[in-house]
Every structure is written in C-alpha cells, then in structure tokens.
Amino acid sequence: MIAAVNGMAFGGGCEITEAVHLAVASERTSFAKPEIKLGMPPTSRQQRLPRLPAQARAGTLAHRRPVFPARAQQIGLVNMIVPHDELLPAARELRGASAAFAAPVASIITAVTAD
C-alpha cells in the first residue's frame, strides 16, 4: 500500500501512515499523536511507530509537538517529500515503479497450490 499524505495527519491519519508500505508526503503535511496530550494512549496500533527504521527518534512524534515532513522522513515515517502540487502524481509514479517488481497473481497461485 502507498499513502499520499497531505494536511494534518493526526491520530488515526498518522497511524495509517505508519501502517502502509510506502508513504509520500506533501510539503504541507504535519504528523502528531494529540491523544497523548489528552491523557489517552494511542490506539492498539501504537506498536508500529517504534518498529520504523529509526526507532530511536520515534519518540519525537509520540511526546512532542507536531512533526513536519523533513523530520518525518528522518524518522522513517515517510519515504518521500514532494511539493503539494506533485503529491498524487508522485504517489502514482511510485505505484507504477513498485508494480514492475510484483509477481503475477497466476504465479503466486501456482506456487501456493503446487505444494
């Protein structure tokens, strides 16, 4: 799954970004977990953020003010930052590039049923 993220990705929006395989963020995006400031723990998906590649910096998002695109890329939350007007074209281009490496469904089914 590829996410094209724009605007405020707070709470659930941030968690969806954590869950996808690849994420492209607009330069206008910000990420946060505001439920922490209200005394509520993040939902059950809170396990994902520390598992991102830069887990030592993951606390930035969980305990401080909003995180903006450059920092989100540093901590491994997003893969790419693009100008706002290029967000959807960049996500579509990434989808096309990723699809080139996908195995055909028939070969997956054959491999599964051959055992």
Catalytic residues: 15, 35
Convert 76-104 to b/e letters by CB count within 10 Å (16 or more is b): bbbbebbeeeebeebbeebeeeeeeeeee
Other C-beta atoms closer than 10 Å to the C-beta of 32 total 19
